[in-house]
Amino acid sequence: MGARDSSTFVLISPIGKRVLLVFFAVFLVFLYLPTILLVIFSFNDSTVAAFPLDGFTLRWYELSWQTGEIRQSLSASLKVAVASAAIATLLALLGSYPLARRNVRFRPLMSALLLVPLVVPTVVVAVSLLTMFQRGAIPIGLGLPSIMIGHVIIALPFAVLILLPRIASIDRRLEEAASDLGANGLQTFRFVLLPLIFPSIISAFMIAFVFSIDEVVIASFLSSEQPTYPVYLYSGLKFPEKTQALIPVATIMILISFLLAFGAEAIRRYGERKLEGR
């Protein structure tokens, strides 16, 4: 008697398929309607973000670019996001490699510690960092460097979740073959392992960048004179006359986040196919 296929198939009636499609459509509307409305209102020729629309205009985009405070806050956000994403990715790589390729004591405990920020509320992280910086435990004060540290903490687990399984999935025989040919540990990592995990490194960086660029809680607690753009946006929404000028940049940031998220997933899938030799 031959072995049975372990795959499970669920038969759905035509009516069931229609119901599932309706539920899926409702889910998509619920998920993306606020974003779609934001994009629409960014082109509305009115000082009020509401229907009916008064016409099409690009003047809010021009006004946003001409506003010095918006440019400065965007510059601050980009600096923090690039730096925190790079550091989080590097730390994730340094932490994931020994856990995946070496016989490390207390491996489950160390893996859990790397992922703890996933379950700790962001506001708790923010308050903890605020207390630490204000009392001089780390003498850098409040501002962009402290925000960067906070963003590294919250982005690190996501980078680990991308890199750790990818490194663990690589056949150890490749490293053994390199070692037999005379390569030392650094050469093996550089010429064998790094090319295979490079797409995952880029993916981890992009995901960490997305988490940092639109983070507001930690940035609100740790900001000084120069806020990041999400903090500036949140404070500006308290003044209705500023709202319309803030929406275009928020729209651009949302689109960039979408592109980076989809790009990170595409790069991750490319890395999987490359690793499988397809």
73 vs 147: CA distance, rounded Å:
13
Per residue in 174-224, pLDDT (tens digit) is: 877 888 787 787 888 888 888 888 888 988 998 899 889 888 999 999 988
Domain containing residue 129: CATH number: 1.10.3720.10
Range of the domain at 127: 64-276
Residues 117/197, Cβ–Cβ less than 8 Å: no
Residue 122 lies in a domain: yes
Task: Kindly state the tokens that stand for 123.
Answer: 């506001």
- Asked if pLDDT for residue 128 goes beyond 50, the answer is yes
90 vs 103: CA distance, rounded Å:
21
Strands (DSSP E) contained in 74-169 are: none
The reported pTM is 0.78
Structural domain count, the chain: 1
Residue 28 lies in a domain: no
For residue 1, name the pLDDT band (cuts at 50, 70, 90). very low
Residues 54/46, Cβ–Cβ less than 8 Å: yes
Residue whose pair of structure tokens reads 């405990």 in the numeric block: 109
Residue 52, classed as helix, strand or coil, is coil
Residue 182 lies in a domain: yes
